[in-house]
Amino acid sequence: MKTLDTLLSLELQPWAMAGGATTQSTPLATLSRVAQACLAPAERQATVCEWQLQSQLRHPDTLKQLWLHLKASLTVAQTCQRCLLPMQVDLSVDRHFRFVADEATALAEDDDCEEDLLSPAPELTLQTLLEDELLLAMPLIPRHTTCDKPLPQSPDQDLPHPFAALAGLKLGKQ
């Protein structure tokens, strides 16, 4: 029985090739890159990400393809960029991934398919994938649909969106 920390650090492609499937509840504090992009929750232990990852071998025209399906949900606190008060943001991930041979293939095919492409890399772990997708699910500019106390002007310095740090990460890792 693997502990959660061990599981999260597993290299993703070998795990998927072995038919990996898991359903987990992971504390936000464990997902450090996601936690850094959020306000500290009032009750840290209570904030948990529920996620499922399922690998699947598909056989289109006998060409074996290795796929992953990731579903995750997490509610975090972020600062509304209009009124600067804390707000709850529901993050939801439901994405399909397909492994390709290498990064060059991923770059060549990426525009032509719906799914996300993954190229094998030792640093591509369950935790990397989960954190990346949660960060991408965050709103570019978190703000209430209607603020109770809107400021007369918007703040000059918006928080940098975590997407900026992720640019090219999925395909561009060396």
For residue 152, the Cα-to-chain-centroid distance in whole angstroms is: 34
Ramachandran class of 19: left when φ > 0, alpha when ψ lies in -120 to 50, beta otherwise:
left
Q: Does 144 bind Zn ion (CB under 5 A)?
A: yes
Q: Please, what is the minimum distance in Å from the beta carbon of residue 77 to Zn ion?
A: 13
CA 119 to CA 91: how far, in whole Å? 25
Residue 37 in tokens: 């992009």
Backbone angles phi, psi at 11, to 5 degrees: -70, 135
Among 13, 35, 38, 82, binds Zn ion (CB under 5 A): 82
Of 22-30, 54-62, 81-89, 97-105, the window that binds Zn ion (rule: CB under 5 A) is 81-89
Of 17-25, 37-45, 132-140, 141-149, the window that binds Zn ion (rule: CB under 5 A) is 141-149
Among 136, 147, 166, 171, binds Zn ion (CB under 5 A): 147
| CA end-to-end distance (rounded Å), the chain | 31
- DSSP class of residue 78 equals E
Of 67-75, 83-91, 131-139, 154-162, the window that binds Zn ion (rule: CB under 5 A) is 83-91
Q: Does 77 bind Zn ion (CB under 5 A)?
A: no
Q: Does 48 bind Zn ion (CB under 5 A)?
A: no
